[in-house]
Amino acid sequence: MSVLIDKFDVFAGGFWLTLQICVLAAIGALILGAVMAVLRISPVPPLRAVGTAYVTVFRNMPLTVVMFFAAFGLPALGSNADFLRIPVLDSLFTRLGTDLPYFRFALLALVLYTAAFVCEALRSGVNAVPPGQAEAARSLGLTFGQNLRHVVLPQSWKASVVPLGSVIIAMIKNSALIGFFGVVGDLSQTADQLTSAEGYAFIPVAVGISIGYLIMTVPLGALLDRLEKRQAVAR
């Protein structure tokens, strides 16, 4: 068990890196997912088709395949995902700006994959609003924008929060995959590094890594549980 104390900084570093990529990927996926949800509920058929195609493709593909595309397909096209070196962000999250592109590839894959589920969560929220609400708003003379802002979105938001949270939890767990795609120093790669390269006993390292992930997932899950129960009462 001494490895947990001796190498505490390694575990903490891995936790920090995993947290970084999770925060970045969550922001990216929320933005892209919102855009896709808008496309999917837009009145213009071709845009709707694009949204539907995006969701179908990324929801039915394993994240592993998306990761492979990003980590091996993009270099084949001669891209290093340099467009992710966003000026202010990369001074905050130093890994974004490093020369090794794997962090950016992993981030890209996570964002693309998670956005499909974010889109579905948001869309199912809008669908959960009873049609009568929007109809009543229209008959009161509210414009489309007012209708969305004052009637539909506040209600759909309530229905979306819990699924969105579950998507984010799933994303945190999915982020364990990045260690196997060349990102050095995240929690899952730390496990590999400590056991196979530095020869520490396996069980304590596994315990440490597990605690790292559980710290992120279990409280979020408990929070969602409470939200869900409160909503059930409110309804």
Partner 1 sequence: MSQQTSVLYDVPGPRQRRITLIGSIVATVLLAVGAYFLIYRPLDDKGQFSMELWGPLVDPSHENFSQVWDRIGFGLKNTLTAAVLAIVASLVVGTLLGLLRIQLKSLTRRRFTGLATPLAYLLRGLSGTLSAVTRVCVEVFRGLPVVLTIFFVARGFPEFGISFDSLWYLVIGLTVYNSVVIAEILRSGMEGLPGGQAEAAAAIGLSPAQTTRMILLPQAFRIMLPALISQLVVVLKDTSLGFIISYEETLNIGKQLIGVLDNPIQVYVVIAALFILFNYSLSKLAQYVQRRLSRGRKSAGTSAPQPPATALVSQAEGGGGGGGN
Q: Segment 194-233, which members bind partner 1 (CB under 8 A)?
A: 195, 201-203, 206, 209-210, 213-214, 217-218, 220-221, 224-225, 228
**Nearer CB in complex with partner 1: 81/224:** 224
Binding residues among 124-143 for partner 1 as defined by CB under 8 A = 124, 126-127, 129, 131, 134, 138
Q: What are the φ and ψ backbone dihedral angles of 93, each rounded to 5 degrees?
A: -110, 90
**Nearer CB in complex with partner 1: 92/223:** 223
**Nearer CB in complex with partner 1: 96/209:** 209
**Nearer CB in complex with partner 1: 44/88:** 44
List C-alpha distances in Å: 156 to 88, 101, 133, 134, 151. 33, 38, 11, 11, 9
Instruction: Based on the shown chain and the rule CB under 8 A, indicate whether residue 117 belongs to the binding site for partner 1.
Output: yes
**Nearer CB in complex with partner 1: 88/139:** 139
List C-alpha distances in Å: 154 to 133, 151, 178, 224, 225. 12, 6, 35, 18, 21
**What end-to-end distance do the CA atoms of the chain give, in Å?**
48
Closest C-alpha among 78, 60, 162 to residue 116 = 60
Q: How many residues bind partner 1 (CB under 8 A)?
A: 77
- The answer to whether the CB of 116 falls within 8 A of the CB of 55 is yes
Q: Give the H/E segment covering residue 235.
A: none
List C-alpha distances in Å: 75 to 97, 113, 124, 175. 17, 19, 36, 21
Rounded CA gap, 228 and 221, in Å? Answer: 10
**Nearer CB in complex with partner 1: 93/217:** 217
Binding residues among 36-75 for partner 1 as defined by CB under 8 A = 40-41, 43-48, 50, 56-57, 59-66, 68-69, 72-73
Binding residues among 76-115 for partner 1 as defined by CB under 8 A = 76-78, 113-114
- Taking CB under 8 A as the criterion, the residue among 152, 183, 193, 208 binding partner 1 is 152
Rounded CA gap, 147 and 164, in Å? Answer: 23
Site string for partner 1, 155-194 (x = CB under 8 A): -------xx-xxx-xxxxxxxxx--x-------x--xx--
Structure tokens at 102: 């794997």
- Taking CB under 8 A as the criterion, the residue among 14, 37, 115, 120 binding partner 1 is 120
State in angstroms the smallest separation of the CB of 157 from partner 1: 15
